[in-house]
Structure 1
Amino acid sequence: MAKLKLRGKDIRALGYPEGPVISIAMNIMEKEYKFEKEEVVMNLLREVLAAPVEYANDAVLGLIAQQLLPKQSPEGAEVSLNQTGVAFTVFGGQNIEQSAMNQMYQAAKLPVAVAGALMPDAHAGYGLPIGGVLATENAVIPYGVGVDIGCRMCLSVFDIDPKELIQKEQYFIRELKEATLFGGGRQFQQSSEHEVLDRAEFDEIPLLKGLQGRAARQLGSSGSGNHFVEWGTVEIDEADPVLGLKPGIYLGLLSHSGSRALGAAIANHYTRVARQKRRLPGEANNLAWLGLDEAEGIEYWMAMNLAGDYASACHHIIHAKLATQLGRKPIGRVENHHNFAWKEQVEGVERIVHRKGATPAGKDVLGIIPGSMTAPGYIVKGRGETASLSSAAHGAGRKMSRTAAMNSITHELLKETLEKHGVKLMGGGLDEAPQAYKNIGEVMQSQQDLVDIVGRFTPKIVRMDG
């Protein structure tokens, strides 16, 4: 039997007002009545609209009904942190700055927190620290996901001798330059086509309606900062049934970027909404949450998932362009989000697991943990370690702020380091110099219980903003 699929315009035709109630109604009815006939579902929605008071306490339809009732003037409730926080495990603590530890202690005191972990690449951020993992009860924290929703790694492996990167260096430089676009506000003059742009959320969530055009023009582009696209060498030492590649040395294309202006707009909007609903003390205000039984929480969850799929589409477009120019299809691909929230089982109960700068590392789940522009990255397979909430580091992690790096690293030192490692850099800046990052070998050493290494990626031609 076909699953129920509703359209916003049909719900509007019933008399439903513009606003979150339409997307909420679609989401609830398609989930709870997915095998019911559309006619029956539409009649039920008509009854809720006619008498929302009668359905206000209904276990399923109550959330729709509550959106139709007159609203009282909202006043954000003051929320106190717990005196003691939930326990969390720290990996590689000897290399984690105190400010990141303090942020994790603060997050652990949230009333909705149930478990946490801190990865060995952790450093301070906004809300959760970068490298922070937090499980909550039926609540999502927009700044626990981060501004760059769905920031992602994607690796394509080609059965091509990587010696060609040296023999045809100018060819690979040219193709990389032509296929990519970097920078915070940069947009293509002509949009790429992708099914993600046709998603219903763009019509059903008011915030997203005004973002669709820019999202279309930025599709397939990359941001600034530590975002990159690079050619390099992939080494597989042993055959692994999950990875599915034979031992050998291959040519690899690795990219790192997220959901561009779309994700930033979603994060900032719903963080403001969360702060209005719940006033937390001091810097904990950045950890304001939305319940997944609240209209705003459902709406954010839908928007977050759209942004994650959009980030994935950006990578796939870049990789498809370069694969076309190579005239070859990849023989393998590994990819993962590392700024996202998932519904996962924690000690047998469904929780919302936030990974802000952390790689999903469930049992046999593949991921990529990059080093720096001159250090190797690692293809890993998760071990499903409960102490880390099935998570691992998302990179080497910064050991210097951008300002500190700019003030202490010279162009001469960067040039010397690149030459020593045989890396060609296009763009990039001193704030992204290898010296600004932790030692990726030490990070990997600190998480031997979290992941198994199944391959390595060594950068050779690196494209960044600038």
Structure 2
Amino acid sequence: MNTFTLTGKDLLEIGYKPGKALGTALSIMETAYPDLSKEEQLTKLATILASPADYQQDELWAPVAEALVPPKQEELISLLPEAKEYVIYGAEGIEVGAINQMDTAMRLPVSVGGALMPDAHQGYGLPIGGVLATKGAVIPYAVGVDIGCRMSMSLYAIDSGILTTQSDQLKRILLDNTRFGTATFKNPKDHAIMERPEFAAIPIVRSLKDRAYSQLGSSGGGNHFVEFGVVELHNAENEFGLPAGQYLSALSHSGSRGLGANIAGHYTKLAMQNCRLPQEARHLAWLDLKTAEGQEYWLAMNLAGDYASACHHQIHERLAIALGEQPLAVVENHHNFAWKEKDAPGNEVIVHRKGATPAGQGVLGIIPGSMATPGFIVRGKGEANSLNSASHGAGRVMSRTKAKQTLSLPQVQQFLQEAGVEVIGSGLDEAPMVYKDIRQVMNSQQDLVDVVGTFTPKIVRMCGDEKYMKY
């Protein structure tokens, strides 16, 4: 019988490290081999230490071997050594961080094309204002968190002078018929979107159905808005068949609310687990569209986009009823989305537009400025270099934090007063001066869109703290 007691110090001396393997080895040796000499015990343990992989299937020593074998490191997917070429519009007004992010996106092995719009600024993964074409893959963070965020505009046969003569009534219409942020309608309107089969078929979507119903017809926080203003159509040769001139208009900007945000979070996590990229590109993890997860995300993304559209339709339905007038024309477009399109040779690609407006040949869209600067109804020119895209707005030049630190309420109120704009809600982080000059942005994309008309905001409602409310 062995009269020598094996100790942890003995194992340390032959190369074991403090931890699970050492403790487990001592326990097994004491229980299973009490009659071996100390020398024989150490020889056996040294053999296992030298080649633990040989013992991973051993009934007795597998626990020690597993503790000794280092965990297998998943191999990272390599980026291309250099970014593929892409076009930057309005480069002089775009921060370096956004360009660096786009460079990283163009080094993905699945990337086949890209473009950076003149309103671009840094975000997560793909920069806001970034357009990225991929082959057979969809990138949740290149779509964005607010899936299907969009613009919607209604034009009315109502004299735009009502904005001055009946401004109080119009403000009351906005207050009664719009909700922002956490506020929702007590009795949401029903909509066919809630009967979509995806709400039953996809687990993550099924869990969000009740919340999605409660938020129907409402708008998010941040830069989302509903506003009345004046549209001026520049000539009679327009898609609406309307005479040139001025029209009362309602414009809304919002997305897919909690439904889109939770879909984005869920599938981004899945993508990052299954598609391991270097640190600088980790938010650009993709889902292969041939996989179940990729197909599921595609269905969920499209549902979120259609849900966002349904919310806008209800917003404009409520406004039309309150105004007592049906719109003469409606324009709607979305961003924060991925489309299946054809590249120049005719191959199918997935085009992600994160904060970029579709601008295919003849496609109408709306590019807003800020709450106190013009927006534009545009017609796409189908420019291949931009992947048939244009900016989705003016783009920020000041972060929300910096805006709150540097701007004052009296300063913003004076700016709005001089612009002839009344604002309900909003905060300093959405002040007009946090945005780029929309005219410079439009000048940088003359090759991408033609201007059909301009929109001048007059009464704006946004989500914001009561202390910033003007009305």
User: TM-score, with normalisation over the residues of structure 1?
Assistant: 0.83
Q: RMSD over aligned Cα, in angstroms?
A: 1.2
1:308 matched to 2:305: yes
1:147-179 C-alpha deviation (Å, 9 max, x unpaired): 000000000000111100110111000011110
**Structure 2 counterpart of 1:208:** 205
Aligned partners of 1:161, 1:81: CA distance in 2, in Å?
A: 57
Distance in 1 (CA, whole Å) between partners of 2:327 and 2:238 is 17
| Structure-2 separation of matches of 1:190 and 1:160 | 29
* Aligned-residue offset at 1:335: 0.7
Q: Secondary structure of the equivalent of 2:251? A: strand
Cα distance in 1 for residues equivalent to 2:99 and 2:238: 37
2:241 to 241, 244, 266: 244
SS for the counterpart of 1:298 is: helix
Aligned mate of 1:381, from 379, 400, 408: 379
In structure 2, the partner of 1:156 is 154
Aligned with 1:435 (options 420, 433, 436)? 433
Deviations 1:56-90 (A, max 9, x none): xxxxxxxxxxxxxxxxxx99652111101221100
- 107, 124, 127: which one pairs with 1:126? 124
Structure 2 residue aligned with 1:344 = 341
Moved over 3 A (4+): 74-77
Q: Partners in 2 of 1:358 and 1:165 — Cα distance?
A: 30
The counterpart of 1:461, out of the listed 459, 462, 467, is 459
Which residue of structure 2 lines up, in the alignment, with residue 419 of structure 1? 417
User: Aligned equivalents of 1:176 and 1:306: distance in 2?
Assistant: 27
Aligned 8 A contact 2:150 2:334 in 1: yes
Larger radius of gyration: 2
The 5-angstrom pairing of residues 265-344 of structure 1 reads: 265-344=262-341
Equivalent AA in structure 2 for residue 276 of structure 1: Q
Instruction: State the partner residue of 2:84.
Output: 86
The 2-side partners of 1:104 and 1:431 are apart by 25
Q: Percent identity?
A: 58
Q: Distance in 1 between matches of 2:184 and 2:174?
A: 17
CA distance, structure 2, for counterparts of residue 283 and residue 300 of structure 1: 23
Equivalent residue runs for 1:223-262 within 5 Å: 223-262=220-259
CA distance in 1, matches of 2:75, 2:330: 46
The answer to whether the 8 A contact 1:77-1:278 is kept is no
Question: Which one-letter code corresponds to 1:280 in the other structure?
Answer: L
**Structure 2 Cα separation of the partners of residues 245 and 89 of structure 1:** 36
**Match of residue 57 from structure 1:** none
2: CA distance, partners of 1:459 / 1:162: 11
Q: Deviations over 1:371-424 (max 9, x none)?
A: 000000000000000000000000000000001111111111111011101111
CA contact (8 A) 2:238 2:452 kept: no
Aligned-partner residue type, residue 228 of structure 1: F
- The separation in 1 between residues aligned to 2:127 and 2:237, in whole angstroms, is 33
- Give 2:172's aligned residue: 174
Alpha-carbon separation, structure 2, partners of 1:116 and 1:83: 17
- Residue-pair matches, total: 392
**Quick one: structure 1 residues 192 and 77, their matched pair in 2 at CA, closer, same or farther if it must change by over 3 Å?**
farther
Matched residues in 2 for 1:143 and 1:431: separation? 23
Aligned amino acid, residue 343 of structure 2: V
Does the 8 Å CA contact 2:220/2:254 hold for their aligned counterparts? yes
When normalised by structure 2's length, the TM-score is 0.82
Q: Deviations over 1:273-332 (max 9, x none)?
A: 000001111131100000110100000000000000000000000000010111111001
Q: 1:248 deviation in Å?
A: 1.0
Contact 1:77 1:277 in 2 (8 A): no
